Amino acid sequence: MVWAYDFVFDTTATGQQLKCLTIVDEFTREGLSIEWFHSRREASVVIETWRQRYNEVRPHRSLQYLTPVEFKQQLRQDLQPAVF
């Protein structure tokens, strides 16, 4: 999972200074910020499609650039007991 963060500084109407730490994960950046949804149904379909692609198809750096499915298969293969 890739995270990005940024500090946001602002002033309220009363003159109080605000400092906010904004943390954005990969889903928010890729899944929501580039889509404009016309209905809740459309949003749920797009989000579910993104979730499935991210969790099943897309290679992950933290998994040595394997997809989660490939990583799971490799892990099962590596953990199989040796037969003598």
pLDDT tens-digit readout, 16-66: 887 877 776 666 666 555 567 788 888 888 888 888 888 888 888 888 889
For 45-59, letters b (16+ CB in 10 Å) and e give eeeeebeeebeeeee
β-partners of residue 76 are none
Q: Is the pLDDT of residue 1 over 60?
A: no
Q: Residue 28: which of 57, 10, 51 has the closest Cα?
A: 51
Give the domain ranges of the chain.
Answer: 3-59
Measured CA to CA in angstroms, residue 84 lies from 24, 79, 80, 81 at distances of 50, 15, 12, 9
